[in-house]
């Protein structure tokens, strides 16, 4: 991608991002669906790829099938569509972008990843400071006694819908369904992180529709740090960002880390 002067604009933005990150001590990374797109995943929120018509075989909108009220009314129906999503994601592996974030953490004093994704790929890549704001599709918990467990996938669940091994209560995945609140434990941890301040807010593959995502970007824009966006397309917060790297996460994040390492920023 070149502008009329023959200068590669994506390379310029990658160099700028590497320079800023190289001198940062506290970095907040916020990731969304675009982060996992390069792992070949359909995404939980971006269910359009799975349900083009927005309506399920059961005659309800996918947002309704995957909602908290539907789970209470008809858990088997919600489970049916969660299982389809889990099945489509099965076998997905962290991509070069997930791994590059782990490498980036070695170059700064503190790096925290906040993700909208429920696929567990940041955890699989080895990110330690991680807030999975919308939960993790591989973690199940009993709605009666609260006992939880983590499963590699849903292929070996003994019962369907799955039930608790301790009290036989119904289990559900530890993900935020439509019309449900974000988990208070994740929100509180996020607030503590924000209170510590950040030199750089790095948004990757998120459309920033949630206020909790847009707020730290606005804070950076008002002079409290540098906001960087990595996304092939523009988003509602692009105009607020100091640096925009227009490209896919799996290409851009490794390129930034490579520059940071080779140039010694
Ligand atoms: Zn139980």
Give the pLDDT confidence of 102-135 residue by residue, as tens digits.
999 999 999 999 999 888 999 999 999 999 999 9
Does residue 8 carry a pLDDT above 60?
A: no
Q: What percent of the chain has pLDDT over 90?
A: 65
Q: Are residues 193 and 116 in the same domain?
A: yes
Question: 21-75, pLDDT tens digit by residue?
Answer: 999 999 999 999 889 888 877 655 444 444 555 677 888 888 899 999 999 999 9
182-213: burial string, b at 16+ Cβ within 10 Å, e else: ebeebeebbeebbeeebbbbbbbbbbbebebb
Q: Is 167 annotated as a binding residue?
A: yes
Q: Is 245 annotated as a binding residue?
A: no
Assigned domain for 232 exists:
yes
Assigned domain for 155 exists:
yes
pLDDT at 2: 41
| Average pLDDT rounded to a whole number, residues 243-248 | 94
Given a contact cutoff of 8 angstroms between Cβ atoms, the answer to whether 221 and 243 are in contact is no
Q: Are residues 83 and 167 in the same domain?
A: yes
Quote the mean pLDDT of the chain: 88
Q: Which of 159, 175, 191 is the last residue of a domain?
A: 175
Number of structural domains in the chain: 2
Q: Are residues 85 and 158 in the same domain?
A: yes
Distance 228 CA to ligand 1 centre (A): 44
Angle, CA 253 vertex, CA 248 and CA 256 arms, to 5°: 125
Assigned domain for 128 exists:
yes
Structure tokens at 181: 């609140």
CATH number at residue 156: 3.30.1600.10
Q: Are residues 58 and 75 in the same domain?
A: yes
Assigned domain for 1 exists:
no
> Sorting pLDDT into bands at 50, 70 and 90, what band is 19?
very high
Q: Are residues 168 and 253 in the same domain?
A: no
Question: 217-227, pLDDT tens digit by residue?
Answer: 888 878 789 99
Q: Are residues 164 and 208 in the same domain?
A: no
Measured CA to CA, the distance from residue 32 to residue 13 in angstroms comes to: 20
Assigned domain for 158 exists:
yes
Assigned domain for 4 exists:
no
Q: Are residues 99 and 85 in the same domain?
A: no
Active site amino acids? 134
Q: Is 112 annotated as a binding residue?
A: no
Question: 78-101, pLDDT tens digit by residue?
Answer: 999 899 888 878 888 999 999 999
Question: 133-188, pLDDT tens digit by residue?
Answer: 999 999 999 999 999 999 999 998 988 999 999 999 999 999 999 999 999 999 99
Domain hosting 54: range is 47-91+140-175
CATH number at residue 236: 3.40.50.1220
Assigned domain for 219 exists:
yes
Does residue 189 carry a pLDDT above 80?
A: yes
Q: Which of 150, 175, 200 is the last residue of a domain?
A: 175
Distance 168 CA to ligand 1 centre (A): 6
Distance 164 CA to ligand 1 centre (A): 5
Q: Are residues 130 and 192 in the same domain?
A: yes
Given a contact cutoff of 8 angstroms between Cβ atoms, the answer to whether 234 and 248 are in contact is no
Distance 170 CA to ligand 1 centre (A): 7
Distinct helix (H) and strand (E) counts, the chain:
10, 9
Assigned domain for 3 exists:
no
Q: Which of 117, 148, 175 is the last residue of a domain?
A: 175
Distance 124 CA to ligand 1 centre (A): 27
Q: Are residues 205 and 247 in the same domain?
A: yes
pLDDT at 46: 45
Q: Is 89 annotated as a binding residue?
A: no
Q: Are residues 68 and 194 in the same domain?
A: no
Q: Are residues 22 and 116 in the same domain?
A: yes
Q: Are residues 202 and 120 in the same domain?
A: yes
């Amino acid at each position: 991608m070149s502008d009329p002067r023959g200068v590669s604009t994506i390379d310029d933005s990658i160099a700028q991002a590497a320079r800023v990150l190289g001198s940062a001590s506290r970095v907040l990374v916020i990731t969304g669906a675009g982060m996992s797109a390069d792992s070949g995943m359909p995404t939980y929120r971006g269910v359009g790829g799975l349900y083009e018509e927005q309506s399920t075989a059961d005659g309800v909108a996918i947002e309704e099938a995957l909602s908290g009220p539907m789970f209470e009314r008809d858990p088997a129906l919600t489970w049916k569509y969660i299982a389809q999503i889990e099945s489509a994601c099965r076998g997905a592996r962290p991509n070069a972008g997930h791994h590059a974030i782990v490498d980036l953490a070695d170059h700064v004093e503190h790096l925290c990843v906040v993700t909208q994704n429920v696929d567990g790929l940041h955890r699989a890549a080895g990110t330690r400071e991680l807030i999975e704001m919308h939960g993790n599709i591989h973690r199940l918990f009993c709605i009666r006694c609260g006992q939880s467990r983590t499963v590699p996938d849903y292929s070996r669940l003994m019962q369907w819908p799955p039930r608790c091994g301790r009290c036989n209560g119904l289990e559900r995945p530890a993900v935020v369904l439509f019309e449900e609140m974000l988990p208070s434990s994740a929100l509180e941890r996020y607030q503590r992180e924000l209170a510590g301040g950040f030199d750089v807010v790095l948004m990757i593959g998120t459309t920033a529709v949630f206020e909790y995502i847009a707020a730290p970007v606005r804070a950076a824009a008002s002079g409290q740090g540098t906001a960087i966006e990595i996304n092939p397309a523009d988003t509602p917060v692009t105009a607020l960002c100091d640096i925009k790297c227009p490209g896919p996460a799996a290409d851009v994040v490794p390129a930034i880390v490579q520059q940071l390492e080779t140039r010694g920023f």
